[in-house]
Amino acid sequence: MTAGDQRVHRPAPAVSLRLEPEVLTILGTYKCTAMCENCCFGSNPYLTQRLDLDQILAFITAGARYPNCKQVVFSGGECFLLRSDLNAAIEHATSLGLFTRCVTNGYWAKRTPHGRARLAGLVASGLTELNISTGDHHQRWVSQDAVVNAACLGVELGLETVIVVEVQKERRVTGETLAQDPRVRELIDDPAARFHLLESPWMPMDHEAVIDQRDDLLLSRRTLHLRGGCRNVLKTLVLTPDNRIGSCCGLTREQIPELNADWDGDSLDPVLAADAGDFMKMWLHVDGPERILAWAASTAPEIRWEGRYAHRCHACLVLFKDPVVRRVIREHYRERVEDVLIRFTAKLRLQQGLIHSAG
């Protein structure tokens, strides 16, 4: 969090509070075969910026040196547009003992023989999981048939396979409608298939906008206790198409300067050291954006938060973009420092203890 050009930092600790990454996410390009409304990165077929293979491999190598790092996720944009570079990157991650996941819209599976050949090459490189996004917005550009083809191929080739369906109150595509497809029903009913069908709220990229959602999905006093710390901030490092580093893989990260940093392409230690001095990231890690937002509203009742946010990344965007929320945090965050640091330190020590016992 910044106040003017001042970051919200805690005083330098006597011992490091650095939380090392568990997941590396590579956004090799924001180019995509789709052009979905409210896409978190404004992806479309006309974007050209992308990472070179050397940049991708350097990031994987740098991240793999941390003992707790276990997985590399390739997303975007559309990661399959990286073509042979995607195969090479997956092979490199696999050689370092890391699991790999591709997040895709499934466009490449429009024709099953082509899709099988494409996916089989990635499996041969070491791919372990396939995550396919769909829903009303996605299916304007990629048919449900292609999505189901992709899922069937993933299971056929032995991958952990997930379809994630976007959720909004009024929609045509749901988990239930997908399950009516005989091929999807067969995957669901097959105990040997490593297949999952999930739903996730669709959200706007404007902190003041609201997408109509079911009441039970929206943040409220009744549901606040169900919202916990953010599992992504400080535990996931993201490489963006401009070769910068993000401190989480949140959907709104690109709009939040405080969650992004320059990287020299070598060690990630300077990025992690800077994060270890950022109290706001620690606070997000232990409490999550929804609880911080509710706390801010207890000081400034004009902050509206109930019944507005179904996705936690939307609440996080409000923390960093709403001027009233920023003012409250800037003026009152010291009231929370001791409590947050105690809980953050406890989590850190637990992680370090698990690493040492596993070693």
CATH number of the domain to which 137 belongs: 3.20.20.70
Average pLDDT over residues 204-215: 91
Note whether residue 159 is domain-resident. yes
Name the pLDDT band for 17 (thresholds 50, 70, 90): confident
For the beta carbon of residue 81, count every other beta carbon within 10 angstroms. Answer: 21
Q: Is the model's pLDDT at 2 over the cut of 50?
A: no
Domain that holds residue 127: 19-280
Note whether residue 166 is domain-resident. yes
Average pLDDT over residues 29-40: 96
Mean pLDDT of the chain: 93
Name the pLDDT band for 235 (thresholds 50, 70, 90): very high
Q: pLDDT value at position 287?
A: 97
Q: Is the model's pLDDT at 12 over the cut of 50?
A: no
Alpha helix segments (H runs only) across the chain? 53-64, 84-95, 112-125, 144-156, 175-179, 182-189, 269-275, 279-299, 312-321, 323-332, 334-358
Of residues 325 and 356, which shows the higher confidence score? 325
- Taking CA atoms, 130 is separated from 29, 51, 80, 122, 319, in Å, by 18, 21, 11, 10, 32
Q: pLDDT value at position 101?
A: 98
* Structural domains in the chain (count): 1
Q: Is the model's pLDDT at 22 over the cut of 80?
A: yes
Residues 6+ apart with CB under 8 A from 201: 166, 167, 168, 211, 213, 217, 310, 311
Of residues 218 and 359, which shows the higher confidence score? 218
Q: What is the pLDDT of residues 165-189, one digit of tens each?
A: 999 999 999 999 999 999 999 999 9
Q: pLDDT value at position 11?
A: 46
Q: pLDDT value at position 210?
A: 86
Note whether residue 65 is domain-resident. yes
Q: Is the model's pLDDT at 6 over the cut of 60?
A: no
d(CA 256, CA 259): 6
Note whether residue 233 is domain-resident. yes
Note whether residue 294 is domain-resident. no
Q: Is the model's pLDDT at 111 over the cut of 50?
A: yes
User: By the 8 A CB rule, do 270 and 256 touch?
Assistant: no
Note whether residue 35 is domain-resident. yes
Average pLDDT over residues 309-335: 96
d(CA 173, CA 296): 36
SS3 322: coil
Average pLDDT over residues 319-323: 97
For the whole model, what pTM was predicted? 0.92
Q: What is the pLDDT of residues 59-102, one digit of tens each?
A: 999 999 999 999 999 999 999 999 999 999 999 999 999 999 99
Note whether residue 75 is domain-resident. yes
Note whether residue 293 is domain-resident. no
Q: Is the model's pLDDT at 35 over the cut of 80?
A: yes
SS3 261: strand
For residue 7, give the DSSP letter: E
Q: pLDDT value at position 18?
A: 82
Q: Is the model's pLDDT at 275 over the cut of 60?
A: yes
Name the pLDDT band for 350 (thresholds 50, 70, 90): confident
Q: pLDDT value at position 258?
A: 96
Q: Which tokens sit at 353? A: 């203890």
Name the pLDDT band for 358 (thresholds 50, 70, 90): low
User: By the 8 A CB rule, do 109 and 144 touch?
Assistant: no
Q: pLDDT value at position 13?
A: 43
d(CA 205, CA 203): 7
